[in-house]
């Protein structure tokens, strides 16, 4: 990778991280017991598809750190790592799927959807573990803490994944230059 290519990648990481932080603060709707549906996943996924999973993970990690610094809810250091840096870093794993400009539109959508589902599943896993370990006392009496954590977290992560897929679909069809590396 040339020096100018590395610089462009670092600039894109910084820009997409900033956009992700702003989009996370623009809550579409809040769940009754916490958790918000936002569009935070979109810039991290775009970064991962444009520059690869390592750039996506880096952007997600930085996003998680910034979100934790600017108003994160922390009860324990391990919970902080699970709910912020780890949860957002794994969103960059969407880039594991090789989205290429020369693929058919259908293939692009299948790959983008698969990448977003994988990233969303890993994010769900990090929040699920945090919920089971650190927020078990909030589970209703008689309900499994595992079921409580799963339902609590899936109610805002799944809509976020679906909205991200819709946004990605729109970008692939109408503005592919946003999704595919130009240089």
Q: Return the CATH number at 43.
A: 1.10.1760.20
Check: CB of residue 19 under 8 Å from CB of residue 60: no
Q: Would residue 29 count as lying in a domain? A: yes
pLDDT value, residue 40: 97
Of 181, 39, 19, 182, the closest CA to residue 116 belongs to: 39
Residue ranges in the chain whose pLDDT is less than 50: none
pLDDT value, residue 30: 87
Q: Would residue 7 count as lying in a domain? A: yes
pLDDT value, residue 183: 60
Q: Would residue 183 count as lying in a domain? A: no
Of 13, 150, 162, 156, the closest CA to residue 95 belongs to: 13
pLDDT value, residue 3: 86
Of 129, 120, 134, 50, the closest CA to residue 90 belongs to: 120
pLDDT value, residue 143: 93
Q: How many domains does the chain have?
A: 1
Residue 182 CB neighbour total at 10 angstroms:
9
Q: Would residue 112 count as lying in a domain? A: yes
Q: Would residue 127 count as lying in a domain? A: yes
pLDDT in tens, 28-51: 988 777 789 999 999 999 999 999
Q: Would residue 99 count as lying in a domain? A: yes
Containing H/E element for 37?
A: strand 36-37
Query: For residue 46, what are the domain limits?
Result: 3-178
- Give the contacts of 144 (CB within 8 A, at least 6 positions apart): none
Q: Would residue 14 count as lying in a domain? A: yes
β-pairing, 36-37 vs 29-30, is antiparallel
Alpha carbon 137 to its chain centroid, in Å, reads 27
CA distance 172 to 166: 10
Q: Would residue 98 count as lying in a domain? A: yes
């Amino acid at each position: 990778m040339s020096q100018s290519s590395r610089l462009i990648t670092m600039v894109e990481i910084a820009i997409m991280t900033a956009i992700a932080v702003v989009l996370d603060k623009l809550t579409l709707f809040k769940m009754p017991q916490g958790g918000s549906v936002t569009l935070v996943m979109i810039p991290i996924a775009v970064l991962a598809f444009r520059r690869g999973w390592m750039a996506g993970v880096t952007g997600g990690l930085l996003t998680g750190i910034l979100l934790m610094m600017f108003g994160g809810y922390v009860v324990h250091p391990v919970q902080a790592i699970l709910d912020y840096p780890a949860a957002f870093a794994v969103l960059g794993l969407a880039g594991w799927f090789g989205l290429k400009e020369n693929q058919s539109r259908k293939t692009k959508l299948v790959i983008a959807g698969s990448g977003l589902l994988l990233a969303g599943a890993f994010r769900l896993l990090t929040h699920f573990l945090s919920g089971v370990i650190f927020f078990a006392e909030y589970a209703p009496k008689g309900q499994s803490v595992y079921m409580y954590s799963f339902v609590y977290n899936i109610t805002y992560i799944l809509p976020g994944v679906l909205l991200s897929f819709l946004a990605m679909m729109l970008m692939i069809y109408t503005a592919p230059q946003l999704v595919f590396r130009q240089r």
